[in-house]
Amino acid sequence: MTVITDALCPFCGCLCDDLTIVVEDNKITDVKQACKLGASKIMGHHRIKAPMMRKDKNSEFKEVSYEEAINEAANILSNSKRPLLYGWASAVCEVHKKGILLAEELGAIIDNTATVCHGPSTLAVHEKGLPSATLGQVKNRADVIVFWGSNPVHAHPRHMGRYSVFAKGLFSEKGRKGRKVVVVDVRKTDTANMADQFVQLEQGSDYLVISALRAILSGHADVVPESVGGVSKEQLSKLVDTLKTGKFVGIFFGMGLTQSKSRYKNIDNAISLVTELNAFTKCVITPMRGHYNVTGFGNVCAWETGFATAVDFARGAPYYNPGETAANDVLLRKETDAAMIIAGDAGAHFPADSVRHLAKIPVVQIDPYWNPTTEVANVVIPVAICGVEVEGTAYRMDGVSLRMRKMVEPTHLPDTEVLEKITERVKALRGE
């Protein structure tokens, strides 16, 4: 029996690094400290056993060898005029690097799961920058925590315990007792139930509410109506007071802000609010990134191509224009004629029209787990679990890079090897 301490969890953007893993006969038999989401991922439930292929989407899968599946994947991608390589968020940075090389070879579009979550945050950060901090700074210093359009109780279960609400730190030794917690959301979530202040706004009115807060903060409360987006002026003034009088304010925002009306302009406006609050106190803002290494893909893609996401190699050089080159843009326009979905689940998270198009075109899935994308795939290549069976680098939601360890010997090929083999085969098919 081996006991691995300080292991990392490859599930959500918290990237908890304090787990204890018990290994017996190359099998993980116990996971301590992780939440249910992380433990289930590490224990490897719903694994795909072997590579599979099927003739068409209505026929049954047949198990095949890795070689057959990789050759067929390479055929599909090299025969495509507009291939899309999508996903990447649940894989380590070493996988991203190989994926970008394949995209360049194919002249493909490469995009990641941010396209349906924090893509708008990336656009806002282009314009305004990100006045942020590490989760360690928040743990040690923050006395006011705001969750805006995010529900960590369910989506990031250990965020509040490890970093934000309950965590005790150097200058926050009282933990929860020394902190004010504010939740801004359209409905009373389980996180809101634990808050000191809950601001319930109308769906799609985030931009208006942030603008009203900025007006009050800058001494122009007279221009603010009695109610904005369903929130009373009194409650808005109280929130401004809470923010202004905090010693260190940490704002964490989720898809309630990024994917509601006004999208990236919401984040742009929230960043401006944070910048203005810094005239009164210390205030930082951090996106609640979902998959454990979605932040890593943005970093790798930016240093390899110059752009963080939605990169189109069709011109022979990287081109980026979200709205035109993001995964859902090409799927909704029915432009892409083949897709490779890796370490992400388009079948579960994309709009229905995009999934309908995926169901009509050849799809290669590379993933350790069976998920809704498997249902629209023609070729399925199972891989080792990054951070459990393969080591590598991942970036936490606050941009801190951490090294993930190999805890057991892999039972499947790693993504990097599969991508290398597909790239070699594509080159061979093209006579290179």
Give the interface with ligand SF4 as residue ranges (CB under 6 A): 9, 11-12, 14-16, 34-35, 37-38, 156-158
Whichever of 153 and 314 has its CB closer to ligand SF4, that residue is 153
Spell out where 96-157 has E strands.
109-112, 144-148
Paired residues of 312 in beta bridges: 109, 319
Nearer to ligand SF4, 9 or 236 (CB): 9
Neighbours of 353 (CB within 10 A): 12
Instruction: With residue 290 as reference, give the H or E element that holds it.
Output: none
For ligand SF4, which is the closer residue by CB, 35 or 77?
A: 35
| Closer by beta carbon to ligand SF4, 34 or else 418 | 34
Please identify which residue in the block is written with the tokens 């038999």: 29
Closest distance of CB 396 from ligand SF4, Å: 9
Shortest distance in whole angstroms from residue 22 CB to ligand SF4: 16
Our CB check for ligand SF4 shows the closer of 12 and 183 to be 12
Nearer to ligand SF4, 20 or 242 (CB): 20
**Residue sitting closest to ligand SF4 (CB):** 38
Task: Please count the other Cβ atoms lying within 10 Å of the Cβ belonging to residue 5.
Answer: 10
Beta-carbon contacts of residue 4 (< 8 Å; ≥ 6 apart): 20, 21, 22, 23, 405, 407
Q: What is the CA radius of gyration of the chain?
A: 23
Of residues 102 and 255, the one with the C-beta less far from ligand SF4: 255
Nearest approach in angstroms of CB 111 to ligand SF4 is 24
> Cβ closer to ligand SF4: 77 or 135?
135
> How near is the Cβ of 34 to ligand SF4 at its closest, in Å?
4
Using an 8 Å Cβ cutoff, are 19 and 38 in contact? yes
Determine the Cα–Cα distance for residues 144 and 151; give it in Å rounded to an integer.
17
Place of tokens 């290549």: 381
Q: Nearest distance from residue 288's CB to ligand SF4, in Å?
A: 11
- Supply the minimum distance, in Å, between the C-beta of residue 267 and ligand SF4: 22
Category of 8 on φ-ψ map: left (φ > 0), alpha (ψ -120 to 50) or beta: beta
| Residue 360: exposure state from Cβ atoms within 10 A (0-12, 13-18, ≥19) | exposed
Q: How far is the CB of 10 from ligand SF4 (least distance, A)?
A: 8
List of E strands, 136-241: 144-148, 180-185, 197-200, 227-228, 231-232
The Cα-based distances of 84 to 76, 80, 313, 339 in angstroms read 11, 9, 10, 5
Q: How far is the CB of 340 from ligand SF4 (least distance, A)?
A: 26
**Which of residues 14 and 267 has its CB atom nearest to ligand SF4 in the complex?**
14
Cβ distance 133 to 107 under 8 Å?
Answer: no
Nearer to ligand SF4, 36 or 81 (CB): 36
List, in order, residues 6 or more apart from 307 with CB less than 8 Å away: 301, 318, 320
Dihedral-angle region of residue 228 (phi above 0 means left; psi in -120 to 50 means alpha; beta otherwise): beta
Smallest distance from ligand SF4 to CB 33, Å: 7
Residue 15: partners with Cβ closer than 8 Å, 6 or more residues away:
8, 9, 292, 394, 395, 396, 397, 402
Q: What is the DSSP letter of 57?
A: T
- DSSP code of 221? G
Half-sphere exposure of residue 304, counting CA atoms within 13 Å on the CB side? 24
Q: How far is the CB of 20 from ligand SF4 (least distance, A)?
A: 12
* Smallest distance, ligand SF4 to C-beta of residue 5, A: 15
* CA 37-41-45 angle, 5° bins: 115
Cβ proximity to ligand SF4, 158 vs 412, nearer residue: 158
Helix/strand/coil for 235: helix
